[in-house]
Amino acid sequence: MESDDNFLTAVGAGTPCGEYLRRFWHPFMLACELKDLPVALRLLGEDLVVFRDRGGRLGLLHKHCAHRGTSLEFGIPQARGIRCCYHGWHFDVDGTILETPAEPPGSRIKENFCQGAYRVIERHGLLFAYLGAPERLPPFAAYDTFDFPADNRLAPFKLTLPCNWLQVVENACDPIHNAFLHTIVDGQQFSPAFKALPALDFVPTPLGFLAMATRRVRDFVFVRSSDIILPNVAQFPTGANRVERESCGANPYVTRWAVPLDDHNALYIGYGHLNAHNAASRDLSPEKYGVGKLPFVGQTDDRPYEERQREPGDFDALASQGRIANRKAEHLGTSDRGVALFRRLLKKAITEPASAFPGRDRVEDEPTASFVHEVVLRLPPGVMTDVDSIGQFGRETARRYLESVASYPATQAEPRQRAFREAIAALSRNCSGGALESRP
C-alpha cells in the first residue's frame, strides 16, 4: 500500500494523484517557445512532443513513434500533422495514422493502431494540455481576474523548479512565510508592512480556500487573501502594498499553476497581471515576464550561490527541501494549518469520482469566479489591537467578499466589486465611523 506521501506526490499515469491531476487542463509552456520545430517535453511523468503543423494546428503526441520508437522531436511538421523522420509514418494531431508509406497498399496498420495523443489549446500566450480520458474532457477555466480590471493585460511566464509539485502548492498555503522569508529574515522582498505578524485564517470557497493574513499596521488593518484553487492554481495579491491608504478590491499580481513535470520537477507557470492598480506599487512591464523570468527576487537559481545564501527566496526554500520533501520528519505547528488543510482536501479530492470535482459544470471559456482580495482600512486608536479581533475582521471581509461574488455571475466583475466596496464601506463605518475609499 502506498504511503500518504507517495499518495500525494506521485503523478505518473495510474497513480492516484496522477489520475486525479489528469482531470484538469495544465499549462506547460509559453506559446512563443513553439516555433517551426517540434519540442520534446515531460509532463505528469510522460514523455511527449508538441508541435504546430503547417496548417497552424497544435499537436501533443507521445514522444516515441508507434512504429519503431524514434523520437518525434525529429519529426517533420506537415500541412496536416507530423511525419516521423525514420520511416515516414504520418500522424495527424489527434494521433490518427494517415500514412505508412513503406507498407504495401493493402496494409491495415493505419486502421489498427494510432499514436498516443492529447488535447492541447492556446490561451493568453500559454499552451495548456489535457492528459485525461477524452470522455471526461473538462471546460477550460478562464478566471474572472483575467479580464478585470478593464485595463488588465496578462503576461505569461514559466519557471522550472527541481522539486515535487506539492512543495510549490504548499508554499502558497503558508501565508506566514511571507513575513519571515520575504520580509523579516532577509532582504525585505515584500513591503515593510509584512513585518507585522498576522492573524491567520483559512476560509473555504467553492474552489478551495482563502489563505488569509490580517495585520494591524500602524493605524490600518490590512487583509491579504490569496486564492487557493484545487488542484494546483493560486492567485496572489502583490506583496508591495505599503499600507499607506485605504483600499479595497480583487487585483491579483499573479495567477499561477504548479504543474508536475514528473515526481521530482515542477513548473511555476502562469500570468502576471499588468494593470494600473498593480503598477502603482511595482514597476511592471511585459519584458520582465517570460521563460525563467518573473519580476520578484528569489524565484530562480540564476543568482550567485552566496548571494542566494544571504538573501534566499522561494526557489531556495522549496528546492532545499529535496526533490520530494520528507514529510515524515516534519513538526507542524498552528501556523501550518493551511498546509494541513490542503493535504486533507487533496486526499479527499483524489478519492472522489471524476464527476464530483468543482468546475465540472463550467462553460468553455466563460469567466470562472475566483476569490482573491485585499483590503486596507483605517482604524481609530485603540480599536482592534488584539490578535483575535484582527482575525475576526479578516474573516468578516472574506464573508462579505464571498457574498458579493455569489450575488453576481462571474461575467459581471465590476458590479461585484462595487458591491464588495459598498460592503466594506459599511464595515468601515461600523469600525471607525468613516467611509472606505472606493478604489478599484
Structural domains in the chain, CATH included, are: 25-136 (2.102.10.10), 142-432 (no CATH)
The answer to whether 162 and 319 are in contact (CB under 8 A) is yes
Q: DSSP letter string over 372-420?
A: -EEEEEE--TTSS-SHHHHHHHHHHHHHHHHHHHHHS-TT-HHHHHHHH
How many Cα atoms are found within 13 Å in the side-chain-facing hemisphere of 269? 24
Residue 188 sits at φ, ψ, to 5 deg, of 50, 65
The 10 Å Cβ neighbour count of residue 382 is 6
Where does the pLDDT of residue 280 fall: very low under 50, low under 70, confident under 90, or very high at 90 and above?
confident
The answer to whether 213 and 220 are in contact (CB under 8 A) is no
Torsion sign across C-alpha atoms 65, 71, 73, 78? negative
Q: What is the pLDDT of residues 320-330, one digit of tens each?
A: 999 999 999 99
pLDDT at position 436 over 60: no
Where does the pLDDT of residue 1 fall: very low under 50, low under 70, confident under 90, or very high at 90 and above?
very low
Distance between CA atoms of 33 and 126, rounded to whole angstroms? 10
Range 243-264 average pLDDT: 94
Return the pLDDT at 188. 76
Q: What is the pLDDT of residues 17-75, one digit of tens each?
A: 999 999 999 999 999 999 999 999 999 999 999 999 999 999 999 999 999 999 999 99
Return the pLDDT at 434. 43
Cis peptide before 149 (omega within 30 of 0): yes
Task: Classify residue 207 by its DSSP letter.
Answer: T
Return the pLDDT at 360. 62
Torsion sign across C-alpha atoms 54, 60, 63, 68? negative
pTM for this predicted structure: 0.94
